[in-house]
Amino acid sequence: GAVVSQHPSRVICKSGTSVKIECRSLDFQATTMFWYRQFPKQSLMLMATSNEGSKATYEQGVEKDKFLINHASLTLSTLTVTSAHPEDSSFYICSAEPGQGAVGELFFGEGSRLTVL
Amino acid sequence: QKEVEQNSGPLSVPEGAIASLNCTYSDRGSQSFFWYRQYSGKSPELIMSIYSNGDKEDGRFTAQLNKASQYVSLLIRDSQPSDSATYLCAVNVYSGGGADGLTFGKGTHLIIQP
C-alpha cells in the first residue's frame, strides 16, 4: 500500500524555538498533503492543506505565520512550528491521498509528537 | 457546524465476540465514509470505506451505512486482543469528495478482553 513517512517522530524543544517536521510520500507523488493536529483524547483536526508549488490553505483559527508549510516537491511537505510555546505541544500528523483508492482515503505518516518546554 | 459523533467508550468486548461501533453525522450531503483504526501513540490507518447504503464486508470487518438515518457502523467479527484500539469515524462533507473535506469523530476506544 501507499507509504507516507514523517520525521522526526518525537521532538522536544524550548519555548520560543522553531521546529520543522518533514512529510514524504515514498511510493507515489502527492500534489496535496494534509496536516493534522491531535490533542490527547481528541479527534484529528485538520490544520492546513499543503499544495505543491503554491500556498497552503489554512483552516479557520490556524495561524499561517506560526505554522509555516512548504510543499516544494511532489514528495515532500514540511511543517515548521515557529516560536513554539507549551500550548503547541501536540501530535502532528501528515497525510496524503495516493489516488489509487477512492477519493478521501488517506494514508497517514507515523506522526510527530512535539513537546515544548 | 458539521459534526461526526461517536461514543468515546471504552467499549469492552470479550475475545471472539462481535464488536459493534457506531457513528452518526450531521450533514445530509455527506458522500463518503471511512473507518480508521488508531493504536495508542500511533497515527491512524484506514480500515474500511463505504459510499452507498447497505453493508460492505472485508474479512472480519463489515461497514454498514444508512444515509436516511445518517448512521454508519463498523462490525468486527471474531474480535481479537489485537483489535483493541481507538476507532475513528470520518465523513467527507464536501460534495466534491476531496480529502480536505474529511471530518473525524473523536473515536471509540475498544477493548477486547482475552
Give the pLDDT confidence of B73-85 residue by residue, as tens digits: 999 999 999 999 9
What's the grid cell of residue B24? 452518526
Of B43, B51, B105, the CB nearest to A43: B105
Chain B residues touching A107 at Cβ < 8 A:
46
- Mean pLDDT, chain A, integer: 91
Q: Is B49 on the interface with A (CB under 8 A)?
A: yes
Are residues A109 and A97 in contact, defined by beta-carbon separation less than 8 angstroms?
Answer: no
* pLDDT above 90 for B2: no
pLDDT in tens, A1-37: 678 999 999 999 999 999 999 999 998 888 889 999 9
Residue B23: helix, strand or coil by DSSP?
strand
pLDDT in tens, A67-91: 999 998 999 999 999 999 999 999 9
Are residues B83 and B99 in contact, defined by beta-carbon separation less than 8 angstroms?
Answer: no
Give the CA count within 13 Å in the CB-facing half-sphere of B8: 5
CB neighbour burial string for B8-23, b if at least 16 within 10 angstroms, e if fewer: eeebebeeeeebebbb
Regarding beta strands A112-116 and A10-13, do their DSSP bridges make them parallel or antiparallel, or are they unpaired?
parallel
- Distance in angstroms (rounded) separating the CA atoms of residues B103 and B27: 11
* Residue A61 or residue A102, greater confidence: A61
What's the grid cell of residue A5? 513517512
Classify residue B1 as exposed, middle or buried by CB count within 10 Å of its CB (0-12, 13-18, 19+): exposed
pLDDT of A53 reads 85
Chain A with chain B: Cβ pairs closer than 8 A: 64
